[in-house]
Structure 1
């Protein structure tokens, strides 16, 4: 039995497969069974029970071997998944969660720290970054945290969660500016000089943005964490590649579209910002759009035959609240930072292997 963890020891693996130790090792080396160090004893290994069951059923999982040959990576995560077309965080429906959860509660869920209160005693930093865009301030804050912590600041579970909480707390302060210790969404609302009654829209948006499908940002974060980077350093590695992630790219496109479409009704969104993802309708359901923005939404939905997706919903929300031009992108940045810190924690705890094969295709050595 794997005790619900998805991992079993060598003896159990050999018993299930009915093979010798050498064969088990061969399966691992060929990428057909994923192995990791045993958290209780790094000298021993554990094996993914799902891979073993697949082999028992006679499935060879050729996609794993082909992915390795292409230089792609296969990752194991316990954070986010989709079921029946709906996103989930650790088994919790995201849309339902966003109805009431704060970003702090979502962080504890994604970080596997629901029994902890890592944000309770945190205080503002005196030497806060206040110049530049929100993006540049958040990046500078994480870089400083990484420089202060150094590599492999510790593997104690509670200490790593505390480290992640400090990084997120300082990043939100960098985005919102100094002020009273309130919830993250309230601090952002204060920084944007929003009407207090509308702050719940930021809360909902941040929760909806916290995690998503596999992306280069997640791979970068987990690779850095696997290599020993601290929480802030691993998350920074992910944020620097976040611009290539679908959610960020489409949010940038949707922001530009909404601005243009308010001026010219003939403007059309070429990026297909409509989908069956329920996160967009969830955010817009909590907001009463002014007539011109409602018309923009309807045009997109009529053109596509689907409800507005999350990027368009974020762009419409930012404009309806009269937030800065890049506010929708900044919400993705802060929300996704929470999830990336979760991936860094998950990677350090699980030791999930990140395998990629590199083949040299340059000039023959010694030819020049």
Structure 2
């Protein structure tokens, strides 16, 4: 990397400078937005001669135009908007690099879809393998956890162990990050304990034809051996869940990548958000609801209980789709080919039909994951495990994009609402109450 010119050298002095108005016109935004870019670290400014206003480096402004495109100011909703070439969601469908994601997930294995998302290249037959040292370290770390630990706890601990075993984790070059990702995902799966009574997990690391990730993940989730139809559902679910634009966990991952955190730390940021009941853990609520429906012989009393207590019916509705979640629709079609899934699938349909009398909501992917977990005798958190393992690939894809952006560009400014200074120094036992001081 070449040394950057000092601000007062000849090159810097002769560089074209733009006024705030010129900068706003070139970016296609309001002048106020220009200073928002400065506060987020996306632009640097310099005081104009005489101290009147600011000036901006034209080359830096043009680079921002290339990254973000010339567009109107962001909508007044306050939503963050980032340009990405990974996932597009529109008209109740979603696409990975322009290709229908449901078609990709039903025709190709999880590893192949992940590689497509990362590189735009399809590599048929690709299988990820875990390095022996990282896998052993991750298993030891997970084995030291209390027996009641959840799957997300185990994944986080396995992630830390795998990171410690990777001396190149701070190398953010594209090929190194991709190499780490291809080895990390099977390490996370391999570190999870096998369900009691299940056949041993087929790690397949030393085999000439390693088992696919879905085949290796199954005994970590279910005691009964997997049939081909059930494995197809699991593999498709992994492919469908890889990415979904800037979901909350993905935004957290991009913030970490913007700070140039290494990929393991990026994934840790994503896992921290994913565990919330409104995100990756939502399928566990749908699992318990379906179990309740099956035990009570119908959806009506279960849905009524949710409505009576003001709780949202799990597995219904999605802010990005007006009709049925395409991921749910795809999985329901595959689950219809699994004989033992018939009762749980019928219960899910009953929930949708019953709830539709009160609210026009359609099934989302959490309900489909719940059908898979209930029908397969998995624990309630199995859907969360599938979600976390799958979405790891998406977080890597977004990290790769973010590593190419200006560092620390996501730096919003807070709107302070506390006591106005100057305030006296606090004394022992004193306290300032700020509850109820809303912004006017």
Question: For the superposition of Structure 1 and Structure 2, which TM-score range results when normalised by the shorter chain?
Answer: 0.7 to 0.9
Name the residue aligned to 2:34. Answer: 28
- The change in CA–CA distance for 1:127 and 1:359 in structure 2 (over 3 A counts) is same
Name the residue aligned to 1:346. Answer: 401
The answer on 1:267 being equivalent to 2:310 is no
Name the residue aligned to 1:278. Answer: 326
- The change in CA–CA distance for 1:60 and 1:211 in structure 2 (over 3 A counts) is closer
TM-score, structure 2 as length reference: 0.67
The answer on 1:126 being equivalent to 2:136 is yes
Task: Confirm or deny: 8 A CA contact 1:217 1:242 kept in the other structure.
Answer: yes
- The change in CA–CA distance for 1:160 and 1:35 in structure 2 (over 3 A counts) is same
Name the residue aligned to 1:200. Answer: 232
The answer on 1:356 being equivalent to 2:407 is no
Q: How far apart are residue 119 of structure 1 and its match?
A: 5.4
Name the residue aligned to 2:219. Answer: 190
**In structure 2, C-alpha distance between the alignment counterparts of 1:247 and 1:96, rounded to whole Å:** 24
For residue 275 of structure 2, give the secondary structure of its aligned residue in structure 1: helix
- The change in CA–CA distance for 1:316 and 1:169 in structure 2 (over 3 A counts) is same
- The change in CA–CA distance for 1:240 and 1:150 in structure 2 (over 3 A counts) is farther
For residue 246 of structure 2, give the secondary structure of its aligned residue in structure 1: coil
Q: How far apart are residue 272 of structure 1 and its match?
A: 5.7
Structure number with higher relative contact order (C-alpha < 8 Å, ≥ 6 residues apart)? 1
Give the alignment partner of residue 138 of structure 1, picking from 137, 155, 158.
155
Name the residue aligned to 1:16. Answer: none
Task: Confirm or deny: 8 A CA contact 2:284 2:380 kept in the other structure.
Answer: no
Give the alignment partner of residue 292 of structure 1, picking from 323, 343, 366.
343
Bigger Rg, structure 1 or 2: 2
Q: How far apart are residue 31 of structure 1 and its match?
A: 3.9
Show CA shifts across 1:182-206 (max 9, x none).
1110101233353241211110111
Show CA shifts across 1:48-105 (max 9, x none).
3586633xxxx44453xx73xxxx6443322222021101122121111111221211
**In structure 2, C-alpha distance between the alignment counterparts of 1:101 and 1:249, rounded to whole Å:** 26
Name the residue aligned to 2:97. Answer: 90
- The change in CA–CA distance for 1:48 and 1:151 in structure 2 (over 3 A counts) is farther
Task: Confirm or deny: 8 A CA contact 1:206 1:335 kept in the other structure.
Answer: yes
- The change in CA–CA distance for 1:334 and 1:121 in structure 2 (over 3 A counts) is closer
Q: How far apart are residue 161 of structure 1 and its match?
A: 0.9
**In structure 2, C-alpha distance between the alignment counterparts of 1:367 and 1:272, rounded to whole Å:** 50
Task: Confirm or deny: 8 A CA contact 2:331 2:368 kept in the other structure.
Answer: yes
Name the residue aligned to 2:115. Answer: 108
Q: How far apart are residue 118 of structure 1 and its match?
A: 8.6
Name the residue aligned to 1:253. Answer: 285
**In structure 2, C-alpha distance between the alignment counterparts of 1:298 and 1:135, rounded to whole Å:** 29
RMSD of equivalent CA atoms: 3.3
**In structure 2, C-alpha distance between the alignment counterparts of 1:183 and 1:147, rounded to whole Å:** 25
* Higher mean C-alpha deviation, range 306-315 or range 255-264: 306-315
Show CA shifts across 1:159-202 (max 9, x none).
11112222222112123656323111010123335324121111
Task: Confirm or deny: 8 A CA contact 1:225 1:231 kept in the other structure.
Answer: yes
The answer on 1:309 being equivalent to 2:367 is no
The answer on 1:330 being equivalent to 2:361 is no
Number of residue equivalences: 335
Name the residue aligned to 1:40. Answer: none
Task: Confirm or deny: 8 A CA contact 2:293 2:302 kept in the other structure.
Answer: yes
For residue 53 of structure 1, give the secondary structure of its aligned residue in structure 2: coil
**In structure 2, C-alpha distance between the alignment counterparts of 1:141 and 1:82, rounded to whole Å:** 32
Task: Confirm or deny: 8 A CA contact 1:118 1:161 kept in the other structure.
Answer: no
Name the residue aligned to 2:53. Answer: none
Q: How far apart are residue 147 of structure 1 and its match?
A: 4.1
- The change in CA–CA distance for 1:199 and 1:52 in structure 2 (over 3 A counts) is closer
**In structure 2, C-alpha distance between the alignment counterparts of 1:53 and 1:221, rounded to whole Å:** 26
Task: Confirm or deny: 8 A CA contact 1:152 1:229 kept in the other structure.
Answer: no
For residue 372 of structure 2, give the secondary structure of its aligned residue in structure 1: helix
- The change in CA–CA distance for 1:194 and 1:238 in structure 2 (over 3 A counts) is same
Gaps of 5+ in 1: 1-18, 38-42
Q: How far apart are residue 235 of structure 1 and its match?
A: 0.8
- The change in CA–CA distance for 1:140 and 1:317 in structure 2 (over 3 A counts) is same
Name the residue aligned to 1:13. Answer: none
- The change in CA–CA distance for 1:60 and 1:325 in structure 2 (over 3 A counts) is closer
